[in-house]
Amino acid sequence: MILTETPRRKLVTQLVNWGHWFALLNIFIAITIAGIYILNSPAPDTALGMVYLLTNWVSHIGFLTFFGFVILVLPLCYLLPNAKAVKITSSVFAALGLALLGFDALLYNKYGVHLSLNSAELIRHEAQTVIAQFGWQQWGFLVFLFLAWLSFQLVVANVLWQRINRLQKRKLGLPISSVFVGFFVASHTLHVWADANLYQPIVQQDNMFPLSYPATAKTLMARYSLLDIENYQQRKSLQFNHKVKGITYPAEPVYCAVNKTEKVLILTVTDGKLADSISGLTSQSSHFAFHSTQADGENTILYGLPELYHQALQAHLPILISLPDSMGLTISLYAPQNSQTQLQRFMTGWQQFNQSIQNTSDNLAIGFIQAQQLSDVLTPKVLAEYKVLVTDLNTQEDLGSTLLTNFKTNKSMSSQEDIAPTALNLLGCQAKANSYSTGTSLIATDSPKYLVSTQGNKVLLLDKNHKIEVMNNGNVEIFDLSTNQEVFSPIDTNLLSQGIKHLSRFSNKRSYTLPSN
């Protein structure tokens, strides 16, 4: 008996083959659109993170697009007997799907969220605002844009249909599918490892793409003693994101009065050695500096915040300067290495800076100077008229720094982040320091029992006896504060979590607050 292929079966075969090529082309288009997510997210800072980003980008977006083909286009190839109807319907689905992906990418770019039930209220509010501003020109443009996009899909569908026999001869299905499957397996394998090790360059990408649910295997690994689940949970609770996307500064409005008769002088030695004692000043014990570079040290003095936030603070004027300035106090700033635009109107040259201090005409004077310039500034008259803080930016392995003052302090441990709150407190401002700083005033009566800050990709917490370092994957090392030797004391997870929460209060989570009705 001779078996022949019926016209209906032949049409279905051609449509299925056409559908695969149509899906493949739209996969490449979707991957291109998804580049918006990558361009608007922090780039991984390791090679392994970049490998995961590439494999996850290609495989996840490819999978989403192919899944759309399987549930929407493939059934049409079997159910509709008309090739033209299949091409038109499939083009409509493709145009709508890719438009939806583009909208989601723009939503993620602006608000850091994806299309979901949780973001439905946000979209509704945004749509109401935008629609209220739309005229017929805007609606016409949107309709034209979609029709142009749909026309492109129709043209592509027809071109592929006309060349389907030629395309089938190329035998590219197996190599292309192997690449996507390989990328898919590689990305999920990398994520299983990264999740178990809390490897931040990979784990922090979890929410980058829509409908992303990377593989994890913590329970299975713990069952076979490949993962200490208790240690994992502890490290996870201590994770800290060092890539701040934005900052809320100050964390809440700062309201306070100032005393216009008070005068405060802050001198920071950036070059040369600061003596441990200077006539008329008292050395404060247990003072620490956490900065990695001189620029970070200067910003810590000015803002009272750790280097974690310094990049995000570039557009903000320090509260230490903006608040006294708004109250009409006279301010001088000498910082020859600082080029921040918003500080320029307060900058003075060395001669003018020193002269205004000698004339006691400034309420607040802040100078980043060389060690040999100290003797020119710290005259008996200045020490009598000003409340003086002198420190340095010399970085040491044990974090120890020098702080000299001519007033009584109440803290047994202090850091450079305490200088800005102290200066404002000395000027009469009684506002809560945690509104604008992670430090506290040196003259405040409530003294915290620990210091917490960041240095590079580490969180540092110092108590009376220990220095605790928390890496960005949650690993913890403890050192003796006096000898800087590693010790193996029990970890106080509650204390570390409290310190990390304190550091995080200024971080902008890119959350969206709905307007009140």
What is the DSSP code string of 330-383?
A: -EEEE-TT---GGGGGGB--HHHHHHHHHTT--SEEEEEEEGGGHHHH--HHHH
Same domain, 216 and 339: no
pLDDT over threshold 90, residue 59:
yes
CA 419 to chain centre: 26
Phi, psi for 333 (deg, rounded to 5): -135, 125
Looking at the domain assignment, is residue 406 inside a domain? Answer: yes
CB 493 within 8 A of CB 234: yes
Let me know: does 436 contact 319? Beta carbons within 8 Å.
yes
Compute the average pLDDT of residues 65-85: 87
The whole-angstrom separation of Cα 139 and Cα 505 is: 42
Q: For residue 200, what are its two tokens?
A: 């931040």
Backbone angles phi, psi at 269, to 5 degrees: -80, 120
Q: Are residues 59 and 189 in the same domain?
A: yes
pLDDT given at position 164: 81
Least confident of 16-20, 385-389, 467-471, 507-511: 507-511
In this prediction, residue 299 carries a pLDDT of 93
Is the pLDDT at 127 greater than 90? The verdict is no
Q: How confident is the model at residue 440 (pLDDT cuts 50, 70, 90)?
A: very high
Does residue 249 belong to any structural domain of this protein?
A: no
pTM (2 d.p.):
0.62
Residues 436 and 296 reside in one and the same domain: yes
pLDDT of 122 reads 67
Per-residue pLDDT averaged across 105-124, rounded?
Answer: 75
Least confident of 39-48, 109-118, 320-329, 385-394: 109-118
The proportion of the chain whose per-residue pLDDT surpasses 90, expressed as a percent, equals 34
Compute the average pLDDT of residues 143-164. 87
CA angle 161, 162, 166 (to 5 degrees): 95
Across the range 184-198, mean pLDDT stands at 85
One domain, residues 144 and 291: no
Residue 285: CB atoms within 10 A of its CB come to 11
**Which of 370, 380, 402, 371 has its CA nearest to residue 389?**
402
Q: Does 481 reside within a domain?
A: no
Residues 23, 69 contacting (CB under 8 angstroms): yes
- Is pLDDT above 90 for 298? yes
Any residues with CB less than 8 A from the CB of 154 and at least 6 apart, and which? 87, 88, 91
What per-residue confidence (pLDDT) applies to 514? 35
Three-state SS for 166? helix
Please state, in angstroms and rounded to a whole number, the distance separating the CA atoms of residues 216 and 193: 8
pLDDT exceeds 60 at position 517? no
Q: Are 333 and 321 in contact (CB under 8 A)?
A: yes
Asked which of 445, 480, 499 is the last residue of a domain, the reply is 445
Residue 450: predicted pLDDT: 83
Question: Does residue 514 lie within any of the structural domains?
Answer: no
Q: Pick the residue with more confidence: 138 or 451? A: 451
d(CA 460, CA 128): 46
Q: Which amino acid is at 10?
A: K
Does any domain span residue 311? yes
Shared domain for 286 and 206, answered yes or no, is no
What Rg, from alpha-carbon coordinates, does the chain have? 31
Q: Are residues 319 and 215 in the same domain?
A: no
Average pLDDT estimate for 68-80: 87
* Helices marked H in 198-293: 200-203, 218-223, 229-237
- The answer to whether residue 337 scores a pLDDT higher than 50 is yes
Over residues 45-68, mean pLDDT: 91
Count CB-CB contacts under 10 A for residue 386: 25
Please check whether residue 140 lies inside any domain of the structure: yes
Q: Residues 138-164: what's their mean pLDDT?
A: 84
Strand partners, 401: 287
Q: Is residue 471 part of a domain?
A: no
Packing angle, helices 173-197 and 47-68, rounded to 10: 130
Which residues, 6 or more positions from 44, have their beta carbon under 8 angstroms from its beta carbon?
A: 50, 52, 53, 201, 202, 205
- The CATH number that applies at residue 349 is 3.40.720.10
- What's the total number of domains in the chain? 2
Whether residue 250 is preceded by a cis peptide bond, meaning omega within 30 degrees of 0, is: yes
- Per-residue burial over 53-81, b if 16 or more Cβ lie within 10 Å, else e, is bebbbbbbbbbbbbebbeebbbebbeebe
Residues 301 and 424 in one domain: yes
CA–CA separation, 203 vs 34, rounded Å? 19
Between 413 and 140, the more confident residue is 413
What whole-number distance in Å separates Cα of residue 367 and Cα of residue 383?
15
**Residues 321 and 206 placed together within one structural domain of the fold:** no
Q: Classify the C-alpha dihedral 484-489-495-500 as positive or negative.
A: positive
> Would residue 254 count as lying in a domain?
no
Domain boundary among 227, 254, 284: 227
Binned at pLDDT 50, 70 and 90, residue 515 comes out as very low
Return d(Cα 423, Cα 427) in angstroms, integer: 6
pLDDT in tens, 382-394: 999 999 999 998 7
Q: pLDDT for 216-267, tens place per residue?
A: 766 556 555 555 555 555 555 555 555 556 678 888 889 899 999 999 999 9
Distance CA 194, CA 55 (A): 14
Q: How confident is the model at residue 330 (pLDDT cuts 50, 70, 90)?
A: very high
Measured over the CA atoms of residue 264, residue 316, residue 368 and residue 289, the dihedral's sign is: positive
> Are residues 125 and 13 part of one domain?
yes
Same domain as 295, residue 398: yes
Rounded to the nearest integer, the mean pLDDT of the chain is 83
What residues make up the domain containing 295? 264-445
Percentage of the chain exceeding pLDDT 70: 85
C-alpha span between 149 and 158 (Å, rounded): 15
Most distant pair of Cα atoms in the chain: their distance: 117
Tokens representing residue 207 in the block: 């929410």
- Can you tell me the mean pLDDT for 336-356? 90
- Lowest-pLDDT range, 84-98, 463-477, 497-511? 497-511
User: Distance of CA 233 to CAs 196, 237, 238, 438, Å?
Assistant: 10, 6, 9, 27
Among 176, 210, 227, where does a domain finish?
227
pLDDT (mean) for 342-361:
92
- Please compute the mean of the pLDDT values over residues 51-62 and round it to a whole number: 93
